Amino acid sequence: MIRSRIIGTGFFVPSKVLTNNELEEMVDTSDKWIRERTGIRERRIAEEQNSSDLATKASANALKMAGIKASDIDLIIVATVTPDMVFPSTACFLQKKIGAASASAFDISAACSGFIYAMDVADKYIKGGSAKKVLVVGVDRFSSIIDWQDRATCILFGDGAGAVVLTSEEGKRGLLSSHIFSNGNFWDMLYAPLNGSSNGLTASSAASAQKGGVKMRGNETFKIAVKMMEEASLEALRCNHLGVADLDLFIPHQANARIINSAAQRLSLPQEKIYMNIDKYGNTSAASIPIAMAEAHKAGLIHDNSLILLVAFGGGFTWASSLIRW
Ligand code: UT7
């Protein structure tokens, strides 16, 4: 059976660190509140770099690990809700910047679930035989669409990018299945009316950031996120006739440490199987899962044949899971 196997992972985060203590100077919050309610200590902020710049660095790392050239890539899919511009797609900018001359390129918009959505689409191109090497990137520069006066949201997000190279391969290893879900009835729980990371709201005025920046009904979103992450995780396991005990690593979207722990508790997952890096990066939206996966791989937590469950939840609402035999 043809499968999509990950042969390279890479990530990139900007060097500028924004700590909780620095946020205390900007809005009425405290390091203690942020740490206790979210698990976040600091996040990275892109100053000059657009989403495609972050994606370019993450992709270079993934291509290096895969041991292939950009010109070998047939397809580039970028998951982002903070594109450089409304158009061209961030994927087209990325194609130019890495020199992937033979690739087709497009973006996917599914907020924090975007990376799993993009992997699902890539897998279908690979299984259908129309692509052999696919670069899948999750990138967001949320700092460009944040209302920096809204303490309920500005403490949560950070910027970054993560990438994987998928190859078409015969065998038992690779992406076993992905499951994507949406419910647009919940659109107004988490949304940003305006967008555009190269023309960020913060660059224009505080008034426009307030009008157009990210808005969230956090507490309601929290509860639905826990439930849907549990359901999507179970769906992926059920579909492959596997159980929680078979998992080697659980890599959830990093929105809030309490959401991750609650979902893991419902699944009876032991702490040592959960990968968490939210303390360093906050919620990097579409980048959060591929950053975590690349970091976990680098840290030696992923081996040949490891069984890995990815699960995400985000604006839309969208939610998704996928199971990988590494
Ligand atoms: O990635 C996509 C999915 N995203 C998520 O799933 C995020 C989901 N939501 C959350 O992570 C949490 O709901 C938050 C971290 C956003 C908020 O935590 P919470 O425990 O749900 O707090 P809350 O919204 O119920 O607010 C509790 C209190 C309120 O004060 P009162 O009304 O009790 O006096 C808020 O005004 O905390 C206050 N508060 C803050 N205090 C200090 C809200 N934000 C802050 C803040 N600093 N930054």
Per residue in 105-148, pLDDT (tens digit) is 999 999 999 999 999 999 999 999 999 999 999 999 999 999 99
CATH at residue 293: 3.40.47.10
Instruction: Say whether both 63 and 199 belong to one domain.
Output: no
Instruction: Say whether both 115 and 189 belong to one domain.
Output: no
Instruction: Say whether both 190 and 161 belong to one domain.
Output: no
Instruction: Say whether both 159 and 264 belong to one domain.
Output: no
Instruction: Say whether both 125 and 232 belong to one domain.
Output: no
Q: Say how many C-beta atoms besides its own lie within 10 A of residue 129's C-beta.
A: 9
* Ligand 1 atom with the shortest distance to the CA of 315: 2
Rounded-to-integer distance, Cα 162 and Cα 58, Å? 5
Instruction: Tell me the CA–centroid distance for residue 152 and ligand 1, in Å.
Output: 6
pLDDT tens by residue, 165-215:
999 999 999 999 999 999 999 999 999 987 555 555 554 566 666 777 899
Residue to substitute in 25, 31, 219, 262 for testing ligand 1 pocket (most ligand atoms within 8 angstroms of CB): 219
| Overall domain count for the chain | 2
Rounded-to-integer distance, Cα 93 and Cα 89, Å? 7
Instruction: Say whether both 25 and 156 belong to one domain.
Output: yes
Whether 151 lines ligand 1, by a CB cut-off of 6 Å, is: yes
For residue 193, the model assigns a pLDDT of 85
Instruction: Tell me the CA–centroid distance for residue 63 and ligand 1, in Å.
Output: 39
Instruction: Say whether both 71 and 198 belong to one domain.
Output: no
Instruction: Say whether both 199 and 111 belong to one domain.
Output: no
Instruction: Tell me the CA–centroid distance for residue 285 and ligand 1, in Å.
Output: 17
pLDDT tens by residue, 11-20:
999 999 999 9
Residues involved in catalysis: 112, 253, 283
User: Which residues constitute the domain of residue 260?
Assistant: 176-325
Task: Please report the DSSP string for 279-314 in residue order.
Answer: HHH-B-GGGHHHHHHHHHHHTT---TT-EEEEEEEE
Global pTM value: 0.96
Instruction: Say whether both 186 and 157 belong to one domain.
Output: no
Output DSSP code: residue 274. Answer: B
